[in-house]
Amino acid sequence: MASTVIPIERLRFGQTSRKDAWWLPQLGVFLGLGTFVVYATWAALQGRDYVSGSMISPFYSPEIWGPSPHALFGPQPDWLPWPSFLPFSAALIVLAIPGNFRLTCYYYRGAYYKSFWADPPACGVGEPRNTYLGERWLPLVMQNVHRYFLYGAIFVWFFLVHDVYKAMWLVGPDGKQALGLTVGTVLLSVNVVLLWLYCTGCHSLRHLVGGKCNTFSAHPLKFKMWKFVTSLNKQHQLWAWCSLCSVGFSDVYVRLCAKGMWTDFVLFRI
């Protein structure tokens, strides 16, 4: 049988025969994620202006210890070790969970591997290294902890839902609380819905609800749940970005209201 030898030639970094703007999505991810990380780090280090009225910024929730009335266990305890060079901030305690959840997310991994360290820059584009180690070795093997951060993120999400409920109790000019809705409450509600869509489309959750099963016909409930998670998983990239924007903007909104630069407009009050 005739055979043909096709030589495989390693491309130089950036070398490609692609004619499209393959670099454009990578640039968008670099700018979008870079902006979010810089802003979130700045906001988390502030340690103040994260509560306005009955709203709390999602970056600071659940507030385990802190000076606000939302704190679960009151102010920072004396026994809690805290580095002297860092201002105390409730966000630095809790952000490790949603932060690592996103960092280890299968979608974000693909996106920032390409955008931040060109591994590879895009399909059919030469990369700046000759070896491929994948995610089987340290440090990237640690990405496999994603499923555990999923459990943590779901736990945090319930607190955010509770925050929406608390934000609906508005304090009137007479000092009395009444049920109502403000622009901020709507924003926090949209945020929890988008976070739910993002978490529910998680690849690990898809495995959790549909895995360890060879015959779906024998497990109709499992099949229904797997189909539902799969339908959201198809749009995982969309929900990842929408929820990232909503969580970031929720913090901006609460912060500017807390600083008195914006007014949280009351839509109605019962």
State which residue, 43 or 244, has the beta carbon closest to ligand FES: 244
**Which positions from 191 through 250 interact with ligand FES, judged by CB under 6 A?**
202-204, 236
State which residue, 187 or 229, has the beta carbon closest to ligand FES: 229
**DSSP 8-state symbol, 268:** E
State which residue, 198 or 253, has the beta carbon closest to ligand FES: 198
SS3 state at 28:
helix
Of 240, 237, 242, 233, the C-alpha closest to 207 is 233
Residues 237 and 149: beta-carbon distance below 8 Å: no
SS3 state at 149:
helix
Task: Output the six-digit token pair for 52.
Answer: 């306005």
What are residue 38's phi and psi, to 5 degrees? -65, -45
Of 32, 66, 43, the C-alpha closest to 251 is 43
| Minimum distance of ligand FES from residue 246's CB (angstroms) | 15
Residue 106 binds ligand FES, judged by CB under 6 A: yes
State which residue, 56 or 150, has the beta carbon closest to ligand FES: 150
Q: How many residues bind ligand FES (CB under 6 A)?
A: 9
Residue 89 binds ligand FES, judged by CB under 6 A: no
| Minimum distance of ligand FES from residue 194's CB (angstroms) | 13
**Which positions from 164 through 193 interact with ligand FES, judged by CB under 6 A?**
none
Beta-bridge mates of residue 51: 56
Strands 55-56 and 266-269: unpaired
Residue 71 binds ligand FES, judged by CB under 6 A: no
State which residue, 53 or 152, has the beta carbon closest to ligand FES: 152
SS3 state at 230:
helix
State which residue, 45 or 145, has the beta carbon closest to ligand FES: 145
**Which positions from 138 through 157 interact with ligand FES, judged by CB under 6 A?**
146, 150
State which residue, 70 or 102, has the beta carbon closest to ligand FES: 102
Q: Read out DSSP for 53-103? A: TTEE-GGG-S-SS-SSTT-SS-SPPTTS---TTS---HHHHHTHHHHHHHH
State which residue, 22 or 106, has the beta carbon closest to ligand FES: 106
From residue 3 to residue 42, what is the string marking binding to ligand FES with x (rule CB under 6 A)?
Answer: ----------------------------------------
Task: Output the six-digit token pair for 202.
Answer: 């998680």
| Minimum distance of ligand FES from residue 251's CB (angstroms) | 20
List 50, 59, 60, 107, residue binding ligand FES (CB under 6 A): 107
| Minimum distance of ligand FES from residue 4's CB (angstroms) | 40
Helices 146-167 & 203-210, crossing angle to 10 degrees? 100
Rounded Cα distance between 109 and 134, Å, is 12
Interface ranges with ligand FES (CB under 6 A)? 105-107, 146, 150, 202-204, 236
